[in-house]
Amino acid sequence: MSALAFELPGCLHAEEPPEAHGVARDEVRLMVASRGGGPLEHARFRDLPEHLEPGDLLVVNTSATLPAAVPARRGSEPAELRFATAAPDLDRGAWWIVELRSADGAEPSRGRAGETVELPGGASVELVAPYAGGARLWLARLRLSEPLQAYLGRHGHPIRYGYVPREWPLDAYQTAFATEPGSAEMPSAARPFTPELVARLVSRGIQIAPITLHTGVSSLERGESPYPERFSVPEATAKLVNATRWWGGRVIAVGTTVVRALETVADADGIAAGEGWTRLVVTPERGLFTVDGLITGWHEPEASHVRLLEAAAGRKLLERSYDAALDQGYRWHEFGDSHLILP
């Protein structure tokens, strides 16, 4: 069974947060895989400190999730509009990239250039042009009476896909590191972290440093590449990454968003502070320059993240891991289990 070509059984979709069953966030399962060889290990996320070493550095994403889905109308037809990301290089108060969905959010819908989509509270957006050469995302002109974040706080709800049958509050889609609202969907690799686990990691001599990358919608159609996303790598984080590599520690990215941000500001001498828009697409052919390991969730085979995972793990280890995850009943998606890839 190839990690890049498999059928995901419906029973492996994580339909609810683990807390709904009285299970703590850090009690989800954790598979530990090493590029150095040896057997795959099956643990719980709370065991993470035992699989890291003093001097290792975890880099986390501080982006917080927006309630980015809003009920909408297209004439007399109900719909849902999802705010994916601010439009690169345009006034983010007036221009955003959006996605039209069916009223229940289950299916993408096709828009028309010049179409006005009505939103609650007398607001609307105009679909101006297809975005990034596709037919699913649109460059849209916003007509709101208040800033978008305030508007979404009043009228929006978290983006939800069909494998999650009921709505959950926004808190269910925030991580322990979330401080700066901006992501359409949760940077979910960090969801299993709890304050108690963070304290145990720090007490073991494992350092934690922040970046910010605001994620867009994950419902990329087959063959679509990741689109530009806003990011920031602070100077203190850049210095700590470089110092960790200099003294022989390992840099472990918590999520593919962290990989994308760090690799965007990498050069032959390490990384430098930076911010703006990243258009980087990480592939096995490009490889990784700044990251030694990765904490991630489990992704469907057509997901754009899989090529990045192959760059981090190598194809053979990735196939072994996914074969084992399918065989052992690991759970997929934002409320699911975790995968730790180490050197």
State the Rg of the chain over Cα. Answer: 20
pLDDT in tens, 298-316: 998 777 788 899 999 999 9
What's the CA gap between 321 and 40, in Å, rounded?
A: 7
DSSP for 277-296, written as a single string: EE-----TTT--SS-SEEEE
d(CA 145, CA 160): 26
pLDDT digits (tens, 9 = 90+) for 43-96: 999 999 999 999 999 999 999 999 999 999 999 999 999 999 999 988 888 999
- Could you give the domains of the chain? 10-65+168-342 (3.40.1780.10), 69-155 (no CATH)
Report if pTM > 0.75: yes
Rounded Cα gap, residues 40 and 24, in angstroms: 24
**Six-digit token string for 46:** 């709370």
Q: Can you tell me the distance from the alpha carbon of 177 to that of 64, in angstroms, rounded to the nearest whole number? A: 8
- The predicted-structure confidence for 166-197, as pLDDT tens digits, reads as follows 999 999 999 999 999 999 999 999 999 999 99
- Region 251-265: what's the mean pLDDT? 97
* Spatial separation of the C-alpha atoms in residues 251 and 240, rounded to whole Å: 10
pLDDT for res 32: 98
**Is beta strand 274-278 parallel, antiparallel or unpaired with respect to 77-86?**
unpaired
| Averaged confidence pLDDT in the chain | 93
Structure confidence at residue 223 as a pLDDT band (50, 70, 90): low
- What is the Cα–Cα distance from 257 to 210, expressed in whole angstroms? 12
Side-chain half-sphere exposure of 254, counting CA atoms within 13 A: 30
Tokens 């096995």 -> residue: 284
CB 62 within 8 A of CB 275: no
Kindly tell me if the per-residue pLDDT of 2 is higher than 50.
Answer: no
Alpha-carbon distance 298 to 165, whole Å? 19
Whether the Cβ atoms of residue 306 and residue 259 lie closer than 8 Å to each other: no
Look at 131 and 222; give whichever has higher pLDDT: 131
Percentage of the chain beyond pLDDT 70 is 97
pLDDT in tens, 95-118: 999 999 999 988 889 999 999 999
How would you classify the pairing of strands 77-86 and 124-130? unpaired
pLDDT confidence tier of residue 255, bands split at 50, 70 and 90? very high
Q: Which of 312, 296, 292 is nearest to 244 (CA)?
A: 292
